[in-house]
């Protein structure tokens, strides 16, 4: 397999028109024109959008996970319905509903413009996925932990928040980090909500720059910046997974 892959790469390298590739995808003059805005505006906005979406989604996911495990049927039914609905809908459709559907239906929009509507839209979707991750983490904690806490008189809620959830979150840190990486890339969907020069994320910034220069180099720069942001996170996930495996 490695030999075949090496041969394929070699053939592609020999057949490629590197002069055309360099002119259209690696134009240094276009790259220089993109700085510093690609970092100070586009990358910064991408990180801010991701952080806010993740924080809101995590809070929502915790509530949904607890409702999903509740013995109260209406709570459990609502959580199941929510999770299945928003895991089944594309994130783009959810963003459109939040950004345009709410103002039309209720004459009220989420404060914060693109930041507010986009972050809430992504949080709604991310919360559905992370809720199942949290539930799996809680169920992975040995039942003896709950029984021991209850035997010394701790209430169900105290047992959950002081004994079970701290252990569960140590288990689910790797999948939650994966969700964070996915959210970084999903911020590229914010373009559907509209943007101003100061609210563009990486993909929108690169697309507009590409239109102005009629050159694909901005996409290459955006891809490199995305990798600079995501590769340390994916490396962290691998380290955490290895540490968890050793702990077991």
Q: How many CA atoms lie less than 13 Å away from 160 in the CB half-sphere? A: 14
* pLDDT above 80: residue 242: no
Contacts of 47 (CB under 8 A, 6+ apart): 184, 229
* pLDDT tens per residue across span 36-68: 999 999 999 999 999 999 999 999 999 999 999
Please tell me the distance from the alpha carbon of residue 4 to that of residue 187, in angstroms, as a whole number: 36
Take residue 40 and report the two structure tokens written for it.
């100070």
* pLDDT above 70: residue 220: yes
Share above pLDDT 90 across residues of the chain, in percent, rounded to a whole number = 44
Residue 240, phi then psi, degrees to nearest 5:
-65, -40
pTM check: above 0.75? yes
Give the pLDDT mean for 58-85.
Answer: 93
The residue among 19 and 185 whose pLDDT is bigger is: 185
Take residue 47 and report the two structure tokens written for it.
């990180």
Ordered domains of the chain (ranges, CATH): 35-247 (1.10.3720.10)
Give the pLDDT mean for 175-182.
Answer: 89
Contacts of 77 (CB under 8 A, 6+ apart): none
Provide the pLDDT confidence category of residue 163 given band limits of 50, 70 and 90: confident
Please tell me the distance from the alpha carbon of residue 20 to that of residue 115, in angstroms, as a whole number: 38
Q: How far apart are the first and last CA of the chain?
A: 33
Please tell me the distance from the alpha carbon of residue 20 to that of residue 173, in angstroms, as a whole number: 44
Q: Give the Cβ contact number of residue 161 at 10 Å.
A: 13
Return the closest-CA partner of residue 67 out of 150, 158, 23, 128: 128
* pLDDT tens per residue across span 93-124: 999 999 898 888 888 888 888 888 999 999 99
């Amino acid at each position: 397999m490695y030999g075949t892959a090496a041969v394929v790469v070699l053939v592609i390298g020999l057949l490629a028109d590197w002069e055309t590739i360099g002119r259209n995808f690696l134009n240094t003059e276009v790259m220089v024109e993109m700085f510093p805005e690609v970092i100070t505006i586009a990358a910064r906005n991408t990180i801010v959008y991701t952080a806010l979406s993740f924080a809101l989604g995590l809070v929502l996911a915790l509530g949904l996970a607890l409702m999903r495990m509740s013995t109260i049927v209406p709570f459990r039914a609502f959580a199941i319905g929510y999770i299945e609905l928003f895991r089944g809908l594309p994130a783009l459709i959810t963003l459109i509903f939040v950004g345009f559907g709410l103002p039309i239906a209720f004459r009220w929009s989420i404060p914060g413009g693109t930041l507010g509507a986009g972050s809430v839209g992504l949080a709604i979707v991310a919360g559905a996925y992370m809720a199942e991750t949290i539930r799996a983490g809680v169920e992975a904690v040995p039942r003896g932990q709950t029984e021991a806490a209850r035997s010394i008189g701790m209430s169900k809620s105290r047992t959950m928040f002081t004994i079970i959830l701290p252990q569960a979150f140590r288990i689910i840190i790797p999948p939650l980090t994966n969700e964070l990486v996915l959210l970084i890339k999903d911020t590229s969907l914010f373009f559907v909500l509209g943007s101003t020069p100061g609210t563009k994320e990486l993909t929108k910034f690169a697309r507009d720059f590409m239109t102005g220069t009629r050159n694909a180099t901005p996409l290459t720069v955006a891809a490199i910046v995305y990798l600079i942001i995501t590769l340390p996170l994916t490396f962290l996930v691998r380290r955490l997974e290895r540490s968890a495996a050793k702990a077991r």
